[in-house]
Amino acid sequence: MTPHEVRTREFAARRRGVDQVEVREFQARVADELAMLNETVRLLTQENDRIRRALRDWQTMHARECRPPEEHDRNSGRW
């Protein structure tokens, strides 16, 4: 379901307004969709946090292993 579908949805006219059963069914469908999307956002946020922590840990480990050479070692070769 897209936001456009929600905005453009028309309900059957009745003598006293729209069909309440149809409205409730539509609301239930929208509520279910939103609940699913909210759960997806929650799970993706957790995954994003996990990946950020893993990247930060990898960067820390890599920084320790790849320290720059000592000052006196620079340009100490023949060329």
Q: How far apart are the first and last CA of the chain?
A: 66
Whole-structure pTM value: 0.60
**14-49, pLDDT tens digit by residue?**
777 888 888 888 888 888 898 899 899 999 999 999
Q: What secondary structure letter does DSSP report for 77?
A: S
**43-73, pLDDT tens digit by residue?**
999 999 999 999 999 999 888 887 666 655 5
- The answer to whether 12 and 18 are in contact (CB under 8 A) is yes
- The answer to whether 29 and 39 are in contact (CB under 8 A) is no
